[in-house]
Amino acid sequence: MYCLVKFAPLFLAVAVSNGWLFGDFVGKQKVLDEISLWPLPQKFQSSAVAFKLSPTRFQIVQAKQSSAGPSCSILENAFRRYFEYIFGDLKKPEKSRKKVYDSDLVELQVWVTSADPECDGFPSLQTDESYELSVDEPSAVLKAANVWGALRGLETFSQLVYEDDYGVNNINKTDISDFPRFAHRGILLDSYRHFLPLKVILANLEAMAMNKFNVFHWHIVDDHSFPYMSRTFPELSQKGAYHPFTHVYTPSDVKMVIEFARMRGIRVIPEFDTPGHTESWGTGIKDLLTPCYSGSSPSGTFGTVNPILNSSYDFMTQFFKEISTVFPDAYIHLGGDEVDFSCWESNPDIQKFMVQQGFGTDYSKLESFYIQRLLDIVAATKKGYMVWQEVFDNGVKLKDDTVVEVWMENKMEEELQNVTGAGFTTILSAPWYLDYISYGQDWQHYYKVEPLNFPGTDAQKKLVIGGEACLWGEYVDATNLTPRLWPRASAVAERLWSDKSVTDVDNAYNRLVQHRCRMVKRGIPAEPLFVGHCRQEYKGL
Amino acid sequence: MCCAVLFFFLLIVQVDGVWPLPQQLDQSADRNSLSPQRFSFTYGRDSAAQTGCSVLDAAFKRYFSIIFPDFTKGSGLLIVKTRGCDGYPDEDSDESYNLSVSEGQAVLRSVTVWGALRGLESFSQLVYQDDYGSYFINKTEIVDFPRFAFRGLLLDTSRHYLPLHAILKTLDAMAYSKFNVFHWHIVDDPSFPYQSRTFPDLSNKGAFHPFTHVYTQSDVMRVIEHARMRGIRVIPEFDSPGHTQSWGKGQPNLLTPCYKGDVPSGSFGPVDPTVDTTYKFMESLLKEVKFVFPDSYVHLGGDEVSFACWQSNPNVRTFMEKMGFGKDFTKLESFYMERTSIVWQDVFDYHERDTVLEIWKGETYQAELSRMTKAGHRVLLSAPWYINHISYGQDWRNSYAVQPQNFSGTEEQKKLVIGGEVAMWGEYVDATNLNPRLWPRACAAAERLWSDEEKTLNADLAFPRLEKFRCELLRRGIQAEPLFVGHCKHEYDGL
């Protein structure tokens, strides 16, 4: 009996949404068991016994034994958020649901076990995100060492709830023990090629939490514009942003992003890429960039940061001092990619400096010279840093805890082998440049990537701490960012969270169809995977 | 020298600010200021259309708030030669207009209200604001008319259901780009969202959901009226005999039962062409369609018919023998299409020559164009404009490079190309991503179908104008995606 109650709604939903093409679900009920969970938990056990959840009676509460109390705002906020996700708008009257069912689940107890629940802290690379969830009569219990694991468990709990044909919420008897495969699961957004309004960034942090991403890599400034409003150097955004008032992130905007992310267990890692990618910096800071020469006279254009002037390093010292206080995360991304040497080569002062330093004509030595000094400046602020792979490739001396981001798709395996062979931790983004769109279900390509598929020892593989899905902004702004990112990035989310053995694309398709409808229901315009429909279609526009 | 160049550059930006480019446009640097408090639209004394003309009264209101977004009340003069405010645009509608902007007054002349709508759109694109927010328009003379009479856009509401507001918004954006046909691919295999008054079971059983995922009769009327107000025809497509899986759910015995050996396999193929009940059904349905949709055309599909199921069915095979078709199932298909279109012609009293063929097969479309026009058929081109096929980068340039009359054939043959349409099929598209995927990519075809090809072949020259137009679309609330790196003064404010 319970079995019928339980399977009917899930089966219906799937059969209708893609039934005309993939109608053959008979005999696949085992799959349906776990159909709407995304990303798939590490250990999962569910029985056919279903409990009803009444919106008037069900509560999410702090467990008595929990080290987090009612003052733990991060959890209190999350309780409210997930209650709304589960029950939606509670404006409709609840006549039919007053009856108390035998199997009514009355509460979810959230039990934080370690002495410090980290209610006011920030998530970090070392954060333990594991949790255990047990759904049984009359209470469900979610157990985690700290608030971050509890947040992940709340998301899973909300995904277990499904509506039957009468609109009643059900949840099956379930036991889950879950933890992420990789510690760094990131999304890169680029807010300089096109300015992204705050609202778009916040909505995508919401979507990230729904997919258990935990790093927002904010590529905040670059050649085209400088929307970050600096307290120390306000002229950077005054002159370098697309517009000094409408196209900037004020200090309070930045604070809001960081806090919004913290509430969802997401780290914010800003990227200030130098010495290349800095055209927009030059409009606000005089003499920061190298004047390019045409023959023996300045051509009027500017190249990368001028590495031979002390003023450049003075500026960087002050600037990164500010950044290290504004952004609480232990890491800053320093870029260091795609440095164009032609301007340096044209400049007679630089040529002279090269001779003095004995660099010959090898400008990558000059680049390393700059980066080395910059790294020392940043290290003095007590921050760790992330860099793009070129910095490693050029042989710059890096601190032990540096994270090297591998982004070039050719020779990716070799690069991973080299970086980890040298003992550095690394994250992978090369196969996940989501800005490259194509027709059809390209999420499958992202899904099939195996990050540890490179020659190396076990110790080397352990140095791969995660990956990032990147959505660069050449062709993306507020109009199309969210549907372009979701649910394609969800494929990466599962790859980075779930066990290595979770690779069945058909199974993933069925779950992802449900998951994208859930995101749509929660107000995220996630685009369709294929023909079909959601019970609640996207309402905005 | 530098300053002079800069000045020239600014001038160009303002002179070329209309998309699609008018046939003849002369502008001078003399600018007139427009005061939102004093500006108004009026009907000319010798205009056939006067106050009370539904289409234009509504258009005045619409364009006033487009031009002056911060004001809600509003001298332009409008002269329309013929009446026809309550009619529908059709294939022969004259969309030409002349616009003359001089000091203190602008005069828009057109033969029909539809031409007046096109002129109002151009007028609204000529107005610009300076840095202090004052409105200006330059002295301008425009003589304009469309290159092709049929400039369509196809939306597919069967593979994903599109909420009504998504369709209405698309019609708005179509009017901004001077599209004039909404080809509504309303039903297909996956779902039947059209709620039929004659056969309610078609959507009750064939839609994704019988209440939340259907178009009621009043929804359809709203779409048609919204389109009419913008000079847009609505041509519905009821594709058969293939692409009809969803029809079969609400109409038993319509589809051919497929066989596995001697027994029915339980699955169904295309419409069953061997039984009279099929044609009775089609006649009733098409009668209703004619009643509901005012346009004189309906798209009958007829594409991609799979013969495997027909082949498997013993009744169909017997019928083939009886008719002397041998093993040639294309003959059976033609038999069906003929009978269906005879039904259609009975309904409409139309003649053979009125059939329009749409060319959609990608690689060889030039050859197809040549072949079809040689046979004397009028054709519509959509093959190169399947913009549901996305790729990285500025793919609007491919759409823009299409030359619809560039195929081997006589002048007479080329005249048989009556236009083209952009298709947004729905496999991967629903309300979440429809708008940014359509706009501004569809604008490329809009200009190709409206403007003089000689003046618009260079995509690099078109780029800044299109970039400006996409920002204008954003300002008007259309979620048009960026062409490349950059920004708009008014960024998109939604999600």
State ipTM: 0.87
- pLDDT over threshold 70, residue B377: yes
On whether residue B4 sits in a domain, the answer given is no
Assess whether B53 and B103 both reside in one domain: yes
Token pair for residue B385?
A: 């404009």
Find all residues with CB under 8 Å of B291, minimum gap 6, and list them: none
B433:A437 CB<8 A? no
- Under 8 Å between Cβ of A262 and A123: yes
Assess whether B329 and B433 both reside in one domain: yes
Q: Looking at the partner chain, which of A194, A200, A530 has a beta carbon nearest the beta carbon of B485?
A: A194
Rounded-to-5 percentages of helix, strand, coil across chain B: 40, 20, 40
The average pLDDT across B245-270 equals 94
Decide if A199 touches B, using CB distance below 8 A. Answer: yes
Partners of A219 on chain B (C-beta within 8 Å) are none
Q: What percent of chain A has pLDDT over 90?
A: 82
Q: Helix (H, G, I), strand (E, B), or coil: what is residue B145? A: coil
Assess whether B198 and B325 both reside in one domain: yes
Assess whether B137 and B162 both reside in one domain: no
A533:B161 CB<8 A? yes
On whether residue B47 sits in a domain, the answer given is yes
Decide if A490 touches B, using CB distance below 8 A. Answer: no
Find all residues with CB under 8 Å of B9, minimum gap 6, and list them: none
DSSP, residue by residue, A328-363: -SSEEE--------HHHHH-HHHHHHHHHHT-TT-H
Q: Tell me the C-alpha distance between B429 and A484, whole Å.
A: 11
Give the chain B residue nearest A195 (alpha carbons): B487
Q: What rounded mean pLDDT belongs to chain A?
A: 90
User: Options 3.20.20.70, 3.40.1410.10, 3.30.379.10, 1.20.140.10; which CATH number does A43-178 get?
Assistant: 3.30.379.10
Rounded-to-5 percentages of helix, strand, coil across chain A: 35, 20, 45
Reference B177, options B417, B441, B494; nearest CA is: B441
Interface test with A, best of B386, B432, B466, B476 (most A CBs within 10 A): B432
B428:A520 CB<8 A? no
Assess whether B259 and B320 both reside in one domain: yes
Digit-coded pLDDT (tens) for A181-219: 999 999 999 999 999 999 999 999 999 999 999 999 999
Reference A512, options A498, A501, A62; nearest CA is: A498
- Under 8 Å between Cβ of B289 and B344: no
CATH code of the domain containing B265: 3.20.20.80
Lowest mean pLDDT among A178-182, B16-20, B273-277: B16-20
- pLDDT over threshold 90, residue A345: yes
CATH code of the domain containing B109: 3.30.379.10
Closest approach of A432 to chain B, Cα-based (Å): 14
- Residue B304 annotated as catalytic: yes
On whether residue B494 sits in a domain, the answer given is no
DSSP, residue by residue, B171-185: HHHHHHTT--EEEEE
C-alpha distances in Å from residue B254, one per residue of B128, B260, B273, B345, B350: 57, 19, 9, 21, 26
Assess whether B107 and B181 both reside in one domain: no
User: Which residues of B, range 289-318, sit inside 8 Å of A by Cβ?
Assistant: none
DSSP, residue by residue, A299-334: EEEEEEE-TT-HHHHHHHHHHHHHHHHH--SSEEE-
More confident site: A153 or B493: A153
- pLDDT over threshold 80, residue B390: yes
Decide if A163 touches B, using CB distance below 8 A. Answer: no
Digit-coded pLDDT (tens) for A469-496: 999 999 999 999 999 999 999 999 999 9
- The DSSP bridge pattern shows strands A107-112 and A464-471 to be unpaired
Residue ranges per domain, chain A? Answer: 43-178, 276-399
Lowest mean pLDDT among A48-52, A155-159, B299-303: B299-303
Cβ-Cβ pairs closer than 8 A, A with B, add up to 145
On whether residue B429 sits in a domain, the answer given is yes
On whether residue B17 sits in a domain, the answer given is no
- pLDDT over threshold 50, residue A395: yes
On whether residue B488 sits in a domain, the answer given is no
C-alpha distances in Å from residue A158, one per residue of A48, A87, A129, A154: 18, 10, 17, 6
Q: How many domains, in total, are found in chain B?
A: 2
- Fold for the domain defined by A276-399: TIM Barrel (3.20.20)
Sign of CA dihedral A460, A463, A466, A472: negative
Instruction: Tell me the one-letter amino acid at A155.
Output: E
Decide if B266 touches A, using CB distance below 8 A. Answer: no
B163:A477 CB<8 A? no
Reference B443, options B375, B383, B397; nearest CA is: B397
- Under 8 Å between Cβ of B183 and B237: yes
Decide if B161 touches A, using CB distance below 8 A. Answer: yes
Q: Which of B144, B170, B205 is the last residue of a domain?
A: B144
The boundaries of the domain holding residue B65 are 24-144
Decide if A195 touches B, using CB distance below 8 A. Answer: yes
Assess whether B454 and B353 both reside in one domain: yes
Q: What is the pLDDT of residue A338?
A: 85
Based on its alpha-carbon atoms, the radius of gyration of chain A, rounded to whole angstroms, reads 25
